[in-house]
Amino acid sequence: MDLLYRLGSATVAEVLEGIPDPPGYSAVRAMLRTLEEKGAVRHREDGPRYVYEPTLEREAAQRSALAHIVQTFFDGSTTQAVAALLDLNGRKLTRDEVDRLARLIDQSKKEGR
């Protein structure tokens, strides 16, 4: 999906070219077909080739993927997920990042979430 978002659209061959240490052609084609069945991508025919493009805005896809990860790995706990993310990269947050997180938390408190 990341490659499709970067390129806008791509054939299976173009996806293969853009993936380091890619799986086989059939595996990529099957993955794109599965994404199409789930409504994440669509294709158009360009001669004998299928050209795939995302159907969801990147932000909507990010939210959907993140919601799935939070549910699957953190039992639906946003707090656990955020704590894991903060511990993940081993670097300190910048002042701007801390301020943004504080604003988001304050906003969430005001909205009763």
Which residue ranges form the domains of the chain, and what is each CATH number?
2-54 (1.10.10.10), 59-110 (no CATH)
User: What is the pLDDT, as a whole number, of residue 52?
Assistant: 97
Confidence of residue 113 (pLDDT cuts 50, 70, 90): low
pLDDT tens digits for 51-75?
999 999 999 989 988 999 999 999 9
Element (H, E) at 52: strand 49-54
pTM for the model: 0.69
Give the C-alpha separation, 55 to 70, whole Å: 23
Work out the angle at residue 73's Cα, subtended by the Cα atoms of residues 27 and 101, and round it to the nearest 5 degrees.
110
pLDDT tens digits for 3-22?
999 999 999 999 999 999 99
**Helices and strands of the chain, counted as H and E runs:** 6, 2
SS3 54: strand
